Structure formats: C-alpha cells, structure tokens
Amino acid sequence: MTIPPRIARRVIIAPLILFLTFLVITTLPLWLFIALIATPFVPGRWRVFRLLAMTLVYLVYESIGIVLLTGLWVRSGFGARMKSDSIQEQHYELMRWFLSGMYRSSVHLFKLTVELDTSESGVELEDLDRRPLLVFARHAGPGDSFLIAYGILVQLKRRARIVLKDTLMLDPCIDIALNRLPNRFITPNPEAGKDIVAAIGHLAEGMDERDALIIFPEGGNFTERRRLRAIEKLRRGGHHDDADRATWMRNVVAPRPGGALAAIAATPVTDIMFVAHTGLEELDSVVDIWRGIPMEQSLRVRWWIVPEEELPDGEAARVDWLFDHWVAVDSWITENKHR
C-alpha cells in the first residue's frame, strides 16, 4: 500500500478527521436512531451502540490530539525548537493522555479485563528506572501494540521508541506525534530487512533511564501461516536446530534476532523486558472483532526482566538465548490462553 506524501496527509487526512468528528457529533441523534433500529437485528449485547460509542471516542480524542499537536508546533516556534527536551516531553505527555483515554474507553465499552501476572517477575516495577529498557514483546491480535505502548508510556512512565509499519501514518495523531519523536516508520518487505535492523539499532542509541525501545521480534502478528513460513525460512538458511525448536512453539513465530541483537549492541548498559500476553489471538480479522463485541474476556499479561549482564557473549549464543526466552513466552501462553 502506497502512503500519501506528508503534505497530503497534513492538508487532507488530518482536516478530514476534524470534519468527520464534527459531522458525527452534529448528526449524533440520527446515528443513535439508526443504532436503535439495528440493535434487535444484530446479535450481541448492544453491539452497535458500543461500536458507535468507541468510534465517537476515537474521533474526539483524535481531533483534540490534532489541535493540541498544532498548538505544540506553534509553541515550538513553528517547529524551530521541536527537538528541545521540554517540547519532546510535552509530546510524550500528550501521548499518555491519548493512550489513557483510549485504554479506559476500550476496557469499559468492550468489557475487557487486563490481568498482570507478576509471579517470579524478578524485578519490581519501581526498580525499572535505573537504566534504559529494551522491550521484546509477543505480537498477536488487534491492539496488543497499543496495550504494550500504554504499559510502557503510562504505567512505567517511559519515553517509548518503536519501529512501526508506515501504514500507521494514515492515523494523523500517530503520524504527527511519532514523526516528531525518535521513532521509525518502515515498509515491511523482505528487501527492507537490513534497513529495519539498522533502524532498530539507530533508535537504541543514546537512550537513558527515561527511555524504552519496544521491539516485536516476530516481525508481525502471529498467524499459523506466518509461523510455518518462519520455520521453513530457518531450514532454508541452514538453521536446523532453531527450526526444530520453532516447530515445538505453537503460539508464537520464531523470533528474528537481527533487530534484537542490534538494539542490545547499541545499548551498553540496559535491562531487557520480555512480554507475553494472551486473550487477543482469536481475533484475527475485522469480522472476528465485530463478532466478538462485547468481548467480555480477560487479557493476561506476563513480563520478566533480564539485566544485560546476564547475556552470553557472541552472536550465536545470544540467538540461542533469545530462542530460550521465546520458548518461555510460548510455554506461558500455552498455560494461560484458555483460563
């Protein structure tokens, strides 16, 4: 998918969001009437109303975000002081406000509960402000990147850095805010693989105790097809031991070590957080999400910390180390996904 150029996104997509928000709010009685008529014919409890409410919440937060981001641009001297620490921190605060509001609304409207499994986590949350943080997270189901970003930015109060798909720039708030902060938007295709690794390594440089870099080592959302394709790729590359281990992992895709190792190499002293979660993997498509509203399910999250001092030396040993922890992620999911 070709992303429109920056000028088109600023003068077309962002104003369009503002117009849609105005249109939905001013015609809200009509939408409520349509939802009331449709509700008896749609299975699920108040599914149409919940979706309408979530759409309205998103549009309102998005529009307020666009206005506030424009204000920050003016306040920065029309971009002249955009890289100053105070302006950057105000962008992070705006992101925390946006994520908090969307998180609360999603949990309430979709009847979700989020449970944090802290058993044997090794390091308490309050101890995580000692050094930069690398976050290696499982990627499966809609919204897990949002959930992880919320945890890092809001709960841990870190300044998140992340490599994202360029299609997310179609969202004006994501486009504007994250392009002003140390993040990278990439085109996820095989030809750009080395560029992705380089981008991750570059993002990890210069982090301090306030920062966290979020990485999804699987390279994309979990699907059975992607899992099998990753195993076959390992075998074609002669990594038969890794392919055998990946075969036994039923809930995750074999990790791509390049980005993770590049991030580790770029941060001489860091903590590494592994994140496993379950509860979203059966919602693979828009149809699944629609049928699942209200979701009324529990999302379970488990994290653990590994200080960089515990990493083995050498690339091969570190690849094995990463696979070991990914096996642990897979095992935890197996034990918790049907609870």
Residue 24 lies in a domain: yes
Over 60: is that where the pLDDT of 142 sits? Answer: yes
Over 60: is that where the pLDDT of 263 sits? Answer: yes
| Torsion, CA 154, CA 157, CA 163, CA 166, rounded to 10 | 40
With beta carbons less than 8 A apart as the criterion, state whether 241 and 248 touch. no
Residue 152 lies in a domain: yes
pLDDT of residue 112: 85
For residues 90-116, average pLDDT: 93
Residue 245 lies in a domain: yes
99 CB-side CA count, 13 A: 23
Residue 248 lies in a domain: yes
Domain count, the chain: 1
For residues 187-200, average pLDDT: 70
Over 70: is that where the pLDDT of 268 sits? Answer: yes
pLDDT over 90, % of the chain: 70
Domain span holding position 62: 6-336
pLDDT of residue 103: 94
pLDDT of residue 163: 85
pLDDT over 70, % of the chain: 89
pLDDT of residue 214: 95
Residue 130 lies in a domain: yes
Decide: residue 115, CB within 10 A, 0-12 exposed, 13-18 middle, 19+ buried.
Answer: middle
**How many beta carbons lie within 10 A of that of residue 69, not counting itself?**
19
Residue 302 lies in a domain: yes
Query: In CATH, what number is assigned to the domain containing residue 67?
Result: 3.40.1130
Can you tell me the distance from the alpha carbon of 16 to that of 185, in angstroms, rounded to the nearest whole number? 22
List the single range of 12-21, 81-90, 97-106, 216-225 with lowest mean pLDDT: 216-225
pLDDT of residue 18: 98
Can you tell me the distance from the alpha carbon of 198 to that of 263, in angstroms, rounded to the nearest whole number? 9
Residue 1 lies in a domain: no
> Which of residues 221 and 24 earns the better pLDDT score?
24
Triad 113, 116, 118: Cα angle to 5°? 160
Residue 305 lies in a domain: yes
pLDDT of residue 281: 74
